[in-house]
Structure 1
Amino acid sequence: MEKAMDFTTLEIVQKFPNSPVFHLFLNNPSRHNALTLPFFSEFPKAISLLDESPSVRLIVLSARGNNFCSGIDVSVLDVISKPQQSNDAGRIREQLYRQIKGLQESTKALEQCRKPIIAEINGACIGGAIDIVAACDIRYCTEKAFFVVKEVDMAITADIGALQRLPRIVGFGNAMEMILTCRKINGREAKELGLISKVFASKEEMEEGVRVIAEAIAAKSPLTVAGTKQVMLKSRDLTINQGLDYVAVWNAAMLLSDDLDESIAAHIQKRKPIYAKL
């Protein structure tokens, strides 16, 4: 990458030299990668760093240790439940509102990133972790993975994305049942619900399987991949006709590119296309 940044809760790794696939690890395994206040500060910065790097075409989000993430650390709940001293109820609530909006930047960053993001999930994926993976573009897991939307059991209305994104992924009724019961869902059921695209027998098989998929996506036109992600996310919130109009405007601006010329030339010459960095 063109520039480096030190993180305390995250680690950026390029596993293979010259590969456009970069790995972003949650890196607090002694706490089962719980989401601490430093995480919420560092995560949007790490995503932005990867997004801005021309060397990066795809991001794989995974975790060090045996568990993906145990959710929001209790220290975060302690901080936001004790706002600065004030006798003004309005100012106390406005401060809490800004704190919650700040936490939401962690999941918004995933959708705002131009590069596709694949989540690799092993072990526990609990509470706030589901908010994060729901904002990723593709999700894979192992047979040891399990998912729990935990917030209702903690007397919290989930507020960093699960309530908004999960119903669009698994359906309204399934999401409501998951969220209100807080029951544990294994990888196989997560696949049946549509939360997961594929379940792998082991972490090693998942890493190899995702590597193949990630490299294949990263070999495609980066301009087209970024545009497809943008159009799909935007169309999610539009009517069909509005979405069609949006993609027409997008392609009117982006279709006539060097990537299109290279794709046609490669097809005619029966070779793999070589695209410039984004």
Structure 2
Amino acid sequence: MTYACFTVEIADHIAHIRFNRPGKANSMTPEFWKELPEAVDRISNDAEARVIVISSQGKHFTAGMDISVFMSGSLDGDSANAHVSAEAFRYKIKALQETFSALERARQPVLAAIQGGAIGAGVDLATACDCRYASADAFFAVQETAIGMTADVGTFPRLVKLIPEGWARQMAYTAERLPAAKALQIGLVNEVFDSHEDLLDGVMAIARKIAAHSPLAVAGCKALANYSRDHSTADTLDYISVWNAAMLRPDDIREAYVAKGEKRPPVFDGLKPVSR
């Protein structure tokens, strides 16, 4: 399937979504907000891939929301009935939020390879991914404050759970750039690579390690990590017991041990496709 703002390639159980509008700093046009969740949901449901990598072409990961998004749907609303317009606009925001929630909801882990700037909604996208990796020239900026608005498509509920709250607040209040080295220090990214090429090579190597494991076990890890983040320890322990009681697969455990003893890659059944 062809998309306006990115390409999708699936090979060796790795789905690679690559933003391909470098001349426009990979800004997120109206098409992007519809197409990305469609692509991610398709990958998640079809289950051909075991991990998703998101990267970009050009100098920057993404400049965030394209100005055309602000111009469509009329931000000004109906001045004669501002409250009714505001109620309707809330649903437009919720639709935009769903674009990145699709990354969080995907059955497969999502790895972000971030080069150059992850600006505005780019931070929202990155924080919805499972793991983030950066090139040495990368930076993150919650840019919305600088253009007179409050970030609304995922920054606050996710960023404050990934890094110290004080840093999340400082980024939002000041709209300053957080460089890759500081992002690594405070835990926003897992690793920093010297160049764009090293970044993609490194992230793909991590993706291959994930793809080599039992897809069922990896999907369980993601589901339980997400659940744990949003629930108490007691609730999560109970949920884990129910999950493993239903989905712990002895065949996968046996295959992992046998393959190790035979010094060969293990062979696991993939996840089953689910209907859309």
TM-score normalised per structure 2: 0.93
Contact 1:83–1:96, Cα closer than 8 Å, also in 2 = no
Report whether the alignment pairs 1:158 with 2:151.
Answer: yes
Cα-to-partner distance string for 1:220-271 (whole Å, 9 max, x where unaligned): 0000101100100011011111111111111111103532332243345443
- SS of the equivalent of 2:133 reads strand
Residue 203 of structure 1 is matched in structure 2 by 196
Contact 1:121–1:141, Cα closer than 8 Å, also in 2 = yes
Report whether the alignment pairs 1:234 with 2:227.
Answer: yes
Contact 1:142–1:199, Cα closer than 8 Å, also in 2 = yes
Contact 2:163–2:186, Cα closer than 8 Å, also in 1 = yes
Percent identity of paired positions between Structure 1 and Structure 2: 38
More displaced, 107-116 or 208-217?
208-217
Residue 5 of structure 2 is matched in structure 1 by 9
- SS of the equivalent of 1:236 reads helix
In the alignment, the residues of structure 2 paired with residue 202 and residue 55 of structure 1 have an alpha-carbon distance, to the nearest angstrom, of 30
In the alignment, the residues of structure 2 paired with residue 79 and residue 257 of structure 1 have an alpha-carbon distance, to the nearest angstrom, of 53
Cα RMSD of the aligned pairs, angstroms, is: 1.6
In the alignment, the residues of structure 2 paired with residue 257 and residue 89 of structure 1 have an alpha-carbon distance, to the nearest angstrom, of 59
Equivalences for residues 55-74 of structure 1 within 5 A: 55-74=48-67
- Change in Cα spacing, 1:86 to 1:258, as seen in structure 2 (3 Å) is farther
| Total equivalences in the alignment | 271
- SS of the equivalent of 2:8 reads strand
Residue 184 of structure 1 is matched in structure 2 by 177
In the alignment, the residues of structure 2 paired with residue 272 and residue 84 of structure 1 have an alpha-carbon distance, to the nearest angstrom, of 58
2:165 corresponds to which of 161, 172, 197: 172
Moved segments of 4+, more than 3 Å: 80-90, 267-271
Residue 274 of structure 2 is matched in structure 1 by none
2:264 corresponds to which of 240, 246, 271: 271
In the alignment, the residues of structure 2 paired with residue 179 and residue 83 of structure 1 have an alpha-carbon distance, to the nearest angstrom, of 24
The CA deviation at 1:75 is 1.6
Cα-to-partner distance string for 1:73-96 (whole Å, 9 max, x where unaligned): 112122254366584434312210
Structure scoring higher RCO (CA < 8 A, sep ≥ 6) equals 2
* Structure 2 residues not aligned, in runs of 5+: 272-276
The CA deviation at 1:53 is 2.5
